[in-house]
Amino acid sequence: MNRLNQLPTLRITPSEKLSLNYRGKTVQGVAGDTVATALFANGVRVFARSLKYHRPRGLYSLDGECSNTCMDVNGVPNVRTENTLLKDGMVVREQNVKGSADRDWLAFIDKLDWMMPAGFYYKTMHKPAAIWPVAMKQIRKAAGIGVISADYQMKGQYDEMFIKAEVTVIGGGAAGMTAALAAAESGQRVVLLESRPHLGGCFDYRVSTTAEGTPLYERARDLAEKVKLTGNIRVFKHTSMVGAYNNNLITAFQVGKASDTFTERYIEIRSDSVVVATGCIERPLIFDHNERPGVMQVGCAHRMARTYGLLPGSEAVFSVGHDLGLEAAVDLFDLGLKINCVADIREDGQNPELMLALAERKIPVLKGWVAAKAHGCKKVEKVTLSTVEGTVKRQFPCDLLVASAGLTPVTGPFILAQAKMGYDSHTGYFLPTELPEKMFPAGRITGVNHPGAIEASGRLAGLKAAAAAGADVGKTVAEAEKAASVLPGPERGCKLVTAPVKGRKSFICFDEDTTIKNIKQAIEMGFDVPELIKRFTSAGTGPGQGGIPGHNLPLFVAKYTASISTPVPTTVRPPLVPTFLATYAGYNHHMFKHTPLHDSQIADGGIFRNIGVWQRARYFSADFDCREEILNVRNNVGMLDGSTLGKFRIHGPDALKALQRVYVSDMSKVKEGRIKYSAMCNDDGCVIDDGVVVKLGENDYYFTTSTGRAGQTVEWIRYHTRFDGWDFSLVNLTDAMGVINISGPNARKVLSKVVDIDLSSEAFPFSGYREFLIKDAVFVRAMRLGFVGELSYELHVPSSYTQAVWDLLKEAGAEFGIRNFGVEAQNVLRMEKCHVILGSESEQRTNLLDLGLGFLWDRKKADAKTVGAVALRQAEKDAGRLKLVGIRMEDDDRPARDGALIVDNNVRGYVATMRKSFTTGQAVGMALVESQLADIGTRIEIFEDECNGVRLYARVVATPFYDPKGERMKS
């Protein structure tokens, strides 16, 4: 197809050829083409088949307001090819067709529309029930749009950015550019978003002139140049706004050019004020077969020629309701299009200059006429025009029917920003009755169409937005207001939506194949609110997001129900245009914490798991029962990376008071050189944390928390002291120190090779705390704890030195066969000792007493107002609580799974942790059970998932299972 290659309005570079693969064949497009225009240039007229009826569909709006040109591009289905820029080598396929879009075997379904009245699937598919699964399969095969496989991997780079600006302008047409320039005058930061790949909006392709005689396309390019030269305006082209939220948060996404490093980019803009200059789309004219290939909107036909150099047909009929249609007819005639007739819905009110131009070109004009039916199967061959009353009809041959009822403002941003919308009977638009805070409309969205008025309204809105963002521009605003007031205001809009037709094949929504007849059926069934009719008929729920039926549906419903109240629009929700999930995901950075020993743990064969914010080595062999790791600790010596432990310093005059508030024990009894184990509860007395406290000096303490609580500890202590005005300081040292736990009967021998202090049980006893230097350089805090039930030292080492100290110990331990153990081995070791892990042996409702940790609670420190004490005092009298007990399976080879239920006829508790204990040879664990089951010797019944009715049995036994006197850990 020959292009009009010399037009000054072109946005393509005809000399730069790009190729694409379409249905296995290579075809040529040029730089600047969209996929759809390139295909059109190669003679493609039928781009897709419709969702239900498999009707042929072609170019209609060029802005992606319907699914007509949705295709599969590079393996991604449902790509709106009419606003996807062509890149070299794209592979494009049709979707939802058997055969091809041009020859689709399923096209016969179009004849079966009588079987599918509105809501048929709700009403027919439930009886008899057996049909449903079968029918569903068949329907899904025939209906739908693109297909994606479940394991499809999205390709490309997805960028994201979070911008702050004073003013955001949505829409880069004349009004948007003027608004941006005006707002930028005061030096504020302005962001300008334009959904097309170039600025210019409705000026971009028009040769009619401004009052000064400049062609509009030139004016648009002048403005774009000014915008480009203004340093404080950031322009994002090919960027669709998708969401507007509270406090003027705007979200959008940008499509990358071939030269960009990103495929798409998610953009979030927080600005003080927003200008909405989104302009208008066209209001689809509804008549029989109004979506046949060859029927297109005015802007589509006009831009095909002016922007892409492609004459959209050879012989045309126009059926329009606004001056833009007449302007396009004149211009397209001059570009070589034969025009058989222009039908204008309006009886009068046309721009006389345009009428004169049409007369000069001898184009017949019928006023008060409208298209009633498009004839032809896969493309328009002729059209029946009718008077708007339907009294007289005439036919005209054509291969292009330019049809448009009028204009519809793109008010999505206002609706998203929770504006109340109302019908304006002058323009025929749904407009905000009250503007959201600091949000200003500009340009055609306000109803103006005069080029000067568009710019004036843009300037005014830009200045108002700047003022709302704090700029001192009061005087300039007044001047701009005056300038705008002398220009033509909002134009009276054409109100006709449907030609005089019955509507069986008149489509109100193209995406969902919803006809006027379907809407009538829904109304006759009793639906009267557009919002509900939308859902019942699915009109406006497709990829076009209501772009086609947006205004027509409520207007038609109002008319058809003879409603005396003003029409109510349906609402829209983000995203306003279809957006890839990959775009929302963006970089999807995985932010996990690593311990100082991370790399060496990997080198030692650690198998990692994400545990809260950390990645930790859970196992050190493929044996997930960890037999070797466990036995090595029991019989020899092992090392664990415990760096994830929460670690804090608290100091200041009221430090002790703060500790008394959050810990259940009496913290005034913490002695220097000793560690104190205690727990924290919440206001319900439920245990949330346990750890040890060490006194470093007067009102200066060092304490540890469990890994999971570390992130919330400071917040927790500050919250529970927020009314007290106490003077204490907290420092989170969790990441400042790595923790090496060295445990086992040989631990002392290993450690003594590395440190100089006396490690004998007398000099450094169980529960002791010591500080010392290793190699005169590394300051270490050491604690003797017994979590795993063996002689055990916990060394807190500055993070940067942790690896060095670990390596020293490993070297020293080599002769004993020292080896790593991981989190799972530790879990079994401590379970054998019945030491609890909060979150394993407790859940949200488990209190301190339930766990048997009541001995930690000091009832006498009433002044401290200990968090949880009130509830614990009350819970002491409550007999109906769960108790933590030790249990042993009757079959030692069959431990129950963690979380298995303890039952009789009701649920009586659950298994917290249970393992086969290699040390004792028994299957033992801990369970939370109702108190009447807590006595030693009680037989309990266990239910597991997928147990097929077979129950497991266990008995309550004495705890701990290993070294009950604690001789080993205190040795």
Partner 1 sequence: MALTLTCPVCGKRNGYEFRYGGEDKGPRPVEAGLTPAAWCDYVHMNKCTAGVQKEWWCHRDGCGSWFTTWRDTTQNLEVAKPEASK
Partner 2 sequence: MTEIKRESPVQFKVSPLKVEARDNWTVALEYDEEGQGPWLVDLAHKTRWDLQDRKVGELTPCDLAVPEAPGECTFADNTLINRMNRTQASIFHLGAEAPGLPDFSGYTDVTESTVFLALFGPKAFFIAEKLTALDFLDPAKKAPFLYQGPFCHVPCQIVTLEKAADGSGGFLLTCSRGYGDSMVHAILEAGSALGLRPAGENRFNTWIQGLQG
Residues found near partner 2 in the complex (CB under 8 A): 159-164, 187, 189, 231-232, 261-262, 268, 270, 587, 589-596, 598, 613-614, 649, 651-652, 697, 700, 727, 729, 731-737, 774-775, 777-778, 798-801, 803-804, 807-808, 811
Residue 61 vs 713, nearer CB to partner 1: 713
Residues numbered 847 to 866 that lie near partner 1 (CB under 8 A) are: 862, 865
Residue 723 three-state SS: coil
The answer to whether the beta carbons of residues 783 and 567 sit under 8 Å apart is no
At its nearest, how many Å lie between partner 2 and the CB of residue 189? 7
In the complex, least distance from residue 799 CB atom to partner 2, rounded to whole angstroms = 5
Q: How far is the CB of 800 from partner 2 (least distance, A)?
A: 4
Question: Cβ of residue 688: shortest distance to partner 1, in angstroms?
Answer: 14
| Three-state secondary-structure class, residue 559 | helix
Contacting partner 1 within 394-423 (CB under 8 A): 418
- Residue 160 interacts with which of partner 2, partner 1, none, CB < 5 to 8 Å by class: partner 2
Q: Are 557 and 567 in contact (CB under 8 A)?
A: yes
Residue among 730 and 853 whose Cβ is closer to partner 2? 730
Beta bridge partners of 538: none
| Count of residues in contact with partner 1, rule CB under 8 A | 20
**How far is 113 from 55, CA to CA, in rounded Å?**
11
Q: Which does 907 bind (CB under 5 to 8 A by kind): partner 1, partner 2, none?
A: none
The stretch among 292-300, 456-464, 483-491, 869-877 that binds partner 1 (CB under 8 A) is 869-877
Coil vs helix vs strand at 508: strand
- Complex with partner 1: residue 763 or 862, whichever CB lies closer: 862
Residue 898 is inside which H or E element, if any? none
Shortest distance in whole angstroms from residue 877 CB to partner 2:
42
From the list 3, 23, 87, 270, which residue makes contact with partner 1 (rule: CB under 8 A)?
A: 270
Smaller CB separation from partner 2, 229 or 564: 229
Q: Could you tell me which of 660, 226, 257, 287 has the C-alpha nearest to residue 458?
A: 226
Pick from 246, 262, 247, 265: nearest CA to 193:
265
230 binds, among partner 2, partner 1, none (CB under 5 to 8 A by kind): none
* Least separation in angstroms between CB 163 and partner 1: 13
Cβ proximity to partner 1: between 574 and 966 the closer is 574
Query: Which residues are bridge partners to 275 per DSSP?
Result: 169, 440
Q: Round to whole Å and give the CA distance between 259 and 267.
A: 19
When asked if residue 589 is in the footprint of partner 1 (CB under 8 A), the reply is no
Give me the least distance between CB of 801 and partner 2, in Å please.
6
Q: Which residue in 870, 907, 936, 947 binds partner 1 (CB under 8 A)?
A: 870
User: Quick one: 122 or 723, whose CB is closer to partner 1?
Assistant: 723
Please state, in angstroms and rounded to a whole number, the distance separating the CA atoms of residues 641 and 270.
Answer: 43
Q: Is 735 in the site for partner 1 (CB under 8 A)?
A: no
Q: How far is CA 579 from CA 248, 253, 543, 546, in A?
A: 20, 8, 10, 15
List Cβ neighbours of 830 (8 Å cut-off, separation of 6 or more): 787, 788, 789, 837
Helix (H) or strand (E) segment spanning residue 940? strand 939-943
CA 702, chain centre distance (Å): 41
Applying CB under 8 A, among 102, 113, 218, 684 the residue interacting with partner 1 is 684
Contact partners, residue 776, CB within 8 Å, separation at least 6: none
CA distance 45 to 102: 8
Q: Give the span between the Cα atoms of 866 and 700, in whole angstroms.
A: 20
- The option from partner 1, partner 2, none interacting with 224 (CB < 5 to 8 A, set by class) reads none
* Run of H or E including 67: none
Residue (157 or 433) nearer to partner 2, CB: 157
Which of 638, 598, 600 has its CA nearest to residue 615?
Answer: 598
Q: Report the C-alpha gap between 548 and 282 in whole angstroms.
A: 9
Least separation in angstroms between CB 335 and partner 1: 47
Which entry of partner 1, partner 2, none binds 89, CB below 5 to 8 A by partner kind? none
Residue 800 or 874: the one with the smaller Cβ distance to partner 2 is 800
Q: How far, in Å, CA of 968 to CA of 118, rounded? A: 78
HEC sequence for 343-362: EECCCCCCCHHHHHHHHHCC
434 lies in the binding site for partner 1 (CB under 8 A):
no
**Which of residues 483 and 714 has its CB atom nearest to partner 1 in the complex?**
714
Burial of 20 (0-12, 13-18, 19+ CB in 10 A): buried
Our finding on whether 585 is near partner 1 (CB under 8 A) is no
Q: Which residues contact 409 (CB under 8 A, 6 or more apart)?
A: 278, 279, 280, 429, 430, 431, 444, 445, 446, 447
Q: Return the one option of partner 2, partner 1, none that residue 222 interacts with (CB less than 5 to 8 A, by type).
A: none
Task: Pick out residues in 225-254 that bind partner 1 (CB under 8 A).
Answer: 245-247, 249
Tokens of 641: 């990376």
Radius of gyration from C-alpha coordinates of the chain: 38
Least gap, CB of 683 to partner 1 (angstroms): 5
How many residues are recorded in the chain? 971
Instruction: Choose which of 116, 696, 714, 736 interacts with partner 1 (CB under 8 A).
Output: 714
Question: Using CB distances below 5 to 8 A depending on partner kind, what does residue 225 bind out of partner 2, partner 1, none?
Answer: none
Cα 453 to Cα 385: distance, rounded to the nearest angstrom: 34
Q: Which of 719, 729, 758, 947 binds partner 1 (CB under 8 A)?
A: 719
Residue 268 CB, nearest approach to partner 1 (Å): 8
- The interaxial angle of helices 552-560 and 516-524, nearest 10 deg, is 50
Distance in Å, CB of 723 to partner 1, minimum: 4
φ/ψ (deg, to 5) at 590? -90, 105
Which residue, 668 or 729, has its beta carbon nearer to partner 2?
A: 729
CA distances from 221 to 224, 360, 398, 483, 797 (A): 5, 30, 35, 23, 65
965 binds partner 1 (CB under 8 A): no
Q: Among the candidate windows 209-217, 307-315, 870-878, 951-959, which touches partner 1 by CB under 8 A?
A: 870-878
683, 727, 758, 935: residue in contact with partner 1 (rule CB under 8 A):
683
Q: Tally Cβ neighbours within 10 Å of residue 311.
A: 19
CA distance 885 to 713: 29
Residues 639 and 742: beta-carbon distance below 8 Å? yes
Give the residue, chosen from 353, 434, 698, 715, that forms a contact with partner 1 under the rule CB under 8 A.
715
- Of the candidate spans 449-457, 719-727, 850-858, 890-898, the one that interacts with partner 1 by CB under 8 A turns out to be 719-727
| Residue 683 binding target from partner 2, partner 1, none, CB below 5 to 8 Å by type | partner 1
User: Least distance (Å) from partner 1 to the CB of residue 684?
Assistant: 7
Helix (H/G/I), strand (E/B), else coil: 237: coil
Structure token digits, residue 131: 């049909």
Stretch that binds partner 1, among 18-26, 715-723, 745-753, 794-802 (CB under 8 A): 715-723
CB of 600 to partner 2, least distance (A): 10
Dmax (CA) for the chain in angstroms is 114
Min dist CB 859 to partner 1, Å, is 12
671 binds, among partner 2, partner 1, none (CB under 5 to 8 A by kind): none
- Least CB distance from residue 664 to partner 1, whole Å? 15
Question: Given candidates 871, 901, 903, 957, which one binds partner 1 under the rule CB under 8 A?
Answer: 871
Contact of residue 932 among partner 1, partner 2, none (CB under 5-8 Å per partner type): none
Question: Which residues bind to partner 1, rule: CB under 8 A?
Answer: 245-247, 249, 270, 418, 683-684, 714-715, 718-719, 722-723, 862, 865, 869-871, 874
